A and B are shown apart, each in its own frame.
Chain A
Amino acid sequence: MANAKQTAADFDSAAASSVTGTGRQGTVHTPGDGHMWVMVLGDLIIFGAYFIIFMVYRAMEPQEFLTSQEHLNINIGVLNTLVLLASSWFIARSVQAARAGDHARALRLTYLGGLCGVAFILIKAYEWSTKIAAGYTISSNDYFMFYYMLTGVHLFHVSLGLLILGVMVRELRNPRRRRMFMVESGATYWHMVDLLWIVIFALLYVMR
């Protein structure tokens, strides 16, 4: 029983150290709490497996995947990447502002990050609707099945991320809370969404 307590304490030590606040240049610090890192690292492994499986099926019929890939609109893909990168930047700056004690600014930056997330979803919805209107659906071929499923599950992560940003907003707005590890955990999750999209973008849109 004591043992269990001990590991629990270890697990939350990151949380405890981050409550103390600013100035961690050069010091070792785990952003957010360990629980969120379990989520992020596990999700990376799961998605890693999806990406590898995608590559295996791509290698089986490279020409079909390549010609299908041509039907994607690269402009929209790039736009969406830029939107998500910008939102990640907003969130990263928001964490820094919160650390410096400027919660009003942190809040503003979080809203901007969330707004970019919403824009990402809208752009994605537009992209999907044009593809479906052009007759490329989930049953067209293996490439489009991967396209809809990978971007679809990623969209699920984006919506979940918006919920988590909402939790961040509540945390920042309430002067009695403002726990740094909560803000950092939310940010870590949001950057993971960005990171996964970078890989999806490279595999589905760009590579030949």
Chain B
Amino acid sequence: MTTTAARTTTYAWIVLSAITIVSWWLAPGHTRGAAAVASVPITIAVVVLGFIKGRMIIQYFMEVCTAPRWLKLFTDAWLAILWAGVLAIYLF
């Protein structure tokens, strides 16, 4: 049963897991010894990756990519406002 839909889901899962592993070395948790310092580039990367991951879950797992327009708009708006808000508060 390897329909296109199934393949897309699996690719989405692989990409999501890969991003998660990438975030592993972004995190401050394993910089023992040296105190973690705030880092704007890393935070921006985290926000962008978080946005991408969230959008992939919504589009491919929740199947919003084939859903009516209002649902697409709502979920995208939620993602955009959340992550833009997070970044804005972080920067100011």
Contacts and interface: CB of A to CB of B under 8 A. Distances in A.
Do any beta carbons of A and B sit within 8 angstroms of each other in the complex? yes
B47 to A, nearest CB: 7
A159 B23 CA distance: 26
B42 A93 contact: no
A202 B28 contact: no
Given A55-B86, A89-B13, A202-B47, A48 B81 contact: yes
A191 B57 contact: yes
B68 A30 contact: yes
Given A52-B86, A55-B86, A85-B20, A198 B78 contact: no
Interface string B48-68: 011001100110111110111
A208 interface: yes
A89 B10 contact: yes
A71 B67 CA distance: 41
A149 interface: no
Would you list the 7 A-B pairs with minimal beta carbon distance, nearest first? A74-B29, A89-B13, A202-B50, A55-B89, A74-B27, A191-B61, A208-B39
Contacts of B9: 89, 92-93, 96
B31 to A, nearest CB: 7
Interface of B: 1, 3-6, 9-10, 12-13, 16-17, 20-21, 23-24, 26-32, 35-39, 42-43, 46-47, 49-50, 53-54, 57-58, 60-64, 66-68, 71, 74-75, 78, 81-82, 85-86, 89-90, 92
Given A41-B74, A48-B82, A199 B61 contact: no
Contacts of B75: 41, 44
B61 A25 contact: no
A191 B62 contact: yes
A205 B29 contact: yes
A24 interface: yes
Contact of A202 (B10, B37, B46): B46
A78 B68 contact: no
Given A96-B5, A96-B9, A206 B23 contact: yes
Contacts of A95: 63
B14 to A, nearest CB: 9
A29 B66 CA distance: 6
Interface stretch (A62-70, A115-123, A133-141, A164-172): A62-70
A207 B43 contact: yes
